[in-house]
């Protein structure tokens, strides 16, 4: 035991020295950031990072430690990059918990995407017909060898047949495991491309450039990929981490206002479950401080995902509003995903929270009532994939910024639909 204590003390001393070294390294990193800002240089310098790895690696006194040292050095450089990005660009990415991939939040970053993504290989860009072509083109200009695959826009493309088409196209283009795909679009493109990347040759690098608000604040991070099957949402999918995600709020300027509002439903969701201050910000400013709203929502999503990536516990809170929301989405195809989430949140709040939520949704031009197809909704709820013998686990918000998780029966949820239908018949 004495020997163990002695060894531990040695490690404690070394850790203290490393903490000191780390601070000195970050101070130097901040000075480099200042220089780069003045000179207009990008944060990422892949050539220099490769040189550091090779130089330090070959000087490592114990070569058997090389794989561990390389992993450590890569992580240090990544942290340094995030720190510099936060100092230079005001990005909130530096404060995001580690998800195992980089999330860059920076307005205008699309034009310097090759600073963040390794595009010096075969690249396939996947987008859809509703996404302005200029976004894919700007990325293509920064690639050496590129192909663009455009899906028809709309949820119908999130299908096995489009997945197959995409995989076949990747094969035809000759992508190898060293190459990558880049999703440029909303949640539909991201979910489908992520799944294709997971499957192709048992996994190739997947970069995501979300272009809708919903995708920027929610679907692009967290590693959930899927396609729909026989009308069942996300019935076939996988958890597959992107290599990096680039969030450029400037891309939202071409989005239809209805799509922007639908994305705001997810921001409201995050605020209601975890961040009362964010909810007050939305109450007073609605969409006007968009970059801040995106940054704060990302913080919440990333924190939850970091704690429970594969949704065995905490991550289920993100389903707030989604149980009823998904059932409405499956039975009311005229409504967007975010609109269904808006409706789905209302019955899951206490009356006092609902009194604050309704005017917010109205201000955002999101629906607050709807005539529902109850038998069809019951059909969906009774087959909910989150249900167990004890019922369906749902999230409720009794006070803004705080949630409860509870098991309820489909019948109890059906009874709550009155809250959504209230007022709808009078219109
Ligand atoms: N993976 C996850 O964790 C997760 C989370 C939430 C939702 N989702 C999925 O996301 C999908 C919904 O995503 P969505 O709301 O982004 O819809 P979407 O991807 O269908 O995009 C909506 C529309 O906006 C268009 N568009 C995209 N970017 C644009 C831009 N910058 N300017 C103009 N038009 C643009 C698209 O062409 C499309 O017509 C659903 O399939 C849902 O299941 C996934």
Index of the ligand 1 atom closest to the CA of residue 263: 15
Identify whether the C-beta of residue 394 lies closer than 8 Å to the C-beta of residue 323: yes
Q: What's the CA gap between 299 and 297, in Å, rounded?
A: 5
Give the model's pLDDT for residue 381: 87
Give the model's pLDDT for residue 4: 94
Provide the sign of the torsion angle of the four alpha carbons 166, 172, 178, 184, taken in this order: negative
Evaluate whether residue 324 is within a structural domain: yes
Residue 245 shares a structural domain with residue 303: no
CA distances from 246 to 16, 93, 114, 280, 405 (A): 35, 10, 11, 27, 32
Residue 289 shares a structural domain with residue 305: yes
Evaluate whether residue 404 is within a structural domain: yes
Percentage with pLDDT > 90 across the chain? 70
Q: What's the CA gap between 148 and 191, in Å, rounded?
A: 17
Give the model's pLDDT for residue 311: 79
Give the model's pLDDT for residue 40: 66
CA of 9 to the centre of ligand 1 (A): 53
Quick one: tokens of 278?
Answer: 């964010």
Evaluate whether residue 325 is within a structural domain: yes
Residue 73 shares a structural domain with residue 178: no
The whole-number average pLDDT for the span 376-383 is 87
Give the model's pLDDT for residue 425: 57
The whole-number average pLDDT for the span 5-29 is 95
Domain final position from 253, 282, 315: 253
Residue 223 shares a structural domain with residue 334: no
Evaluate whether residue 102 is within a structural domain: no
Q: Does 281 have pLDDT greater than 80?
A: yes
Q: What's the CA gap between 306 and 69, in Å, rounded?
A: 24
Evaluate whether residue 64 is within a structural domain: yes
Give the model's pLDDT for residue 131: 98
Residue 85 shares a structural domain with residue 114: no
Domain final position from 218, 253, 288: 253
Residue 267 shares a structural domain with residue 403: yes
Domain final position from 204, 228, 253: 253
Give the model's pLDDT for residue 386: 66
Evaluate whether residue 340 is within a structural domain: yes
Mind listing the pLDDT tens digit for each residue in 247-268? Answer: 999 999 999 999 999 999 999 9
Residue 8 shares a structural domain with residue 50: yes
For 171, phi then psi, to 5°, come to -65, -45
Q: Are strands 387-388 and 391-399 parallel, antiparallel or unpaired?
A: antiparallel
Identify whether the C-beta of residue 341 lies closer than 8 Å to the C-beta of residue 319: no
Evaluate whether residue 278 is within a structural domain: yes
Residue 238 shares a structural domain with residue 324: no
Q: What's the CA gap between 279 and 401, in Å, rounded?
A: 8
Residue 14 shares a structural domain with residue 81: yes
Q: Identify the CATH number of the domain in which residue 391 sits.
A: 1.20.1090.10
CA of 214 to the centre of ligand 1 (A): 6
Based on the structure, what is the number of domains in the chain? Answer: 3
Residue ID of nearest Cα to ligand 1 atom 41: 188
Quick one: tokens of 168?
Answer: 């076949």
Identify whether the C-beta of residue 173 lies closer than 8 Å to the C-beta of residue 147: yes
Q: Does 71 have pLDDT greater than 60?
A: yes
Q: Does 415 have pLDDT greater than 70?
A: yes
Catalytic center residues: 202, 224, 266, 301, 311, 315, 319, 322, 326, 337
Q: Among candidates 170, 189, 180, which has minimal Cα distance to 127?
A: 189
Q: Identify the CATH number of the domain in which residue 176 sits.
A: 3.40.50.1970
Give the model's pLDDT for residue 127: 98
Q: Identify the CATH number of the domain in which residue 23 sits.
A: 1.20.59.10
133, 190, 198, 214: residue to mutate for ligand 1 pocket, most atoms within 8 A of CB: 214
Mean pLDDT across the chain, nearest whole number? 90
Structural domain harbouring 239: 109-253
Three-class secondary structure of residue 171 per DSSP: helix
Q: Does 92 have pLDDT greater than 70?
A: no
- Other residues' Cβ atoms within 10 Å of the Cβ of residue 210: 28
Q: Name the DSSP class of 217.
A: I
CA distances from 48 to 21, 40, 118, 152 (A): 21, 17, 14, 41
CA distances from 212 to 2, 205, 209, 262 (A): 59, 22, 9, 9
Mind listing the pLDDT tens digit for each residue in 291-344? Answer: 889 988 998 998 888 888 887 778 888 889 999 999 999 889 899 999 999 999
* pLDDT tier at 213, thresholds 50, 70, 90: very high
Residue 309 shares a structural domain with residue 358: yes
Mind listing the pLDDT tens digit for each residue in 105-146? Answer: 888 889 889 888 999 999 999 999 999 999 999 999 999 999
* pLDDT tier at 93, thresholds 50, 70, 90: very low
Percentage with pLDDT > 70 across the chain? 95
Quick one: tokens of 260?
Answer: 């922007």
Residue ID of nearest Cα to ligand 1 atom 11: 187
Residue 75 shares a structural domain with residue 184: no
CA of 155 to the centre of ligand 1 (A): 8
Angle between helices 322-331 and 374-381 in degrees, nearest 10:
130
CB under 6 Å to ligand 1: residues? 128, 130-132, 153, 155, 158, 185-189, 191, 211-212, 214-215, 218-219, 222, 224, 233-234, 251-252, 254-255, 259, 262, 337
* pLDDT tier at 94, thresholds 50, 70, 90: very low
Residue ID of nearest Cα to ligand 1 atom 26: 131
Residue 333 shares a structural domain with residue 225: no
- Other residues' Cβ atoms within 10 Å of the Cβ of residue 67: 10
Identify whether the C-beta of residue 359 lies closer than 8 Å to the C-beta of residue 395: no
Identify whether the C-beta of residue 84 lies closer than 8 Å to the C-beta of residue 43: yes
- Other residues' Cβ atoms within 10 Å of the Cβ of residue 3: 7
Evaluate whether residue 96 is within a structural domain: no
């Amino acid at each position: 035991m004495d020997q163990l204590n002695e060894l531990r003390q040695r490690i404690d001393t070394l850790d203290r020295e490393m903490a000191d070294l780390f601070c000195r390294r970050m101070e130097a990193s901040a000075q480099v950031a200042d220089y780069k800002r003045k000179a207009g240089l990008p944060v990422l310098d892949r050539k220099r990072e490769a040189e550091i790895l090779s130089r330090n690696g070959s000087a490592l006194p114990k070569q058997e430690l090389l794989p561990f040292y390389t992993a450590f050095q890569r992580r240090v450089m990544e942290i340094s990059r995030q720190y510099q990005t936060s100092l230079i660009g005001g990005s909130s990415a530096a404060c995001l918990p580690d998800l195992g991939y980089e999330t860059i939040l920076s307005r205008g970053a699309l034009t310097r995407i090759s600073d963040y993504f390794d595009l010096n290989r075969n690249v396939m860009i996947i987008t859809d017909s509703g996404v302005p072509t200029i976004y894919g083109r700007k990325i293509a200009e920064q690639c050496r060898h590129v192909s663009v695959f455009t899906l028809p826009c709309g949820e119908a493309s999130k299908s096995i047949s489009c997945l197959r088409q995409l995989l076949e196209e990747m094969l035809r283009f000759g992508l190898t495991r060293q190459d990558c795909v880049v999703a440029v679009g909303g949640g539909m493109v991201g979910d489908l491309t992520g799944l294709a990347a997971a499957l192709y040759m048992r996994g190739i690098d997947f970069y995501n450039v979300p272009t809708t608000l919903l995708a920027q604040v929610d679907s692009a991070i967290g590693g959930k990929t899927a396609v729909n099957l026989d009308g069942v949402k996300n019935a076939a999918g996988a958890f597959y981490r992107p290599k990096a995600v680039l969030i450029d709020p400037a891309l939202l300027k071409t989005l239809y206002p209805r799509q922007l509002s639908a994305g705001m439903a997810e921001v409201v969701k995050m605020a209601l479950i975890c961040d009362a201050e964010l909810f007050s910000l939305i109450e007073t400013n609605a969409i006007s401080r968009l970059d801040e709203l995106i940054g704060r929502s990302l913080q919440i999503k990333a924190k939850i995902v970091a704690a429970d990536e594969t949704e065995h516990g905490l991550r289920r809170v993100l389903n707030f509003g989604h149980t009823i929301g998904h059932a409405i989405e499956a039975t009311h195809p005229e409504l967007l995903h975010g609109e269904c989430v808006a409706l789905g949140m209302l019955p899951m709040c206490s009356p006092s929270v609902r009194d604050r939520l309704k005017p917010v949704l109205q201000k955002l031009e999101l629906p607050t009532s709807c005539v529902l197809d109850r038998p069809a909704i019951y059909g969906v709820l009774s087959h909910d994939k989150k249900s167990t013998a004890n019922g369906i686990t749902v999230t409720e918000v009794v006070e803004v910024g705080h949630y409860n998780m509870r098991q309820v029966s489909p019948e109890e949820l059906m009874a709550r639909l009155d809250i959504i239908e209230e007022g709808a018949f009078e219109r």
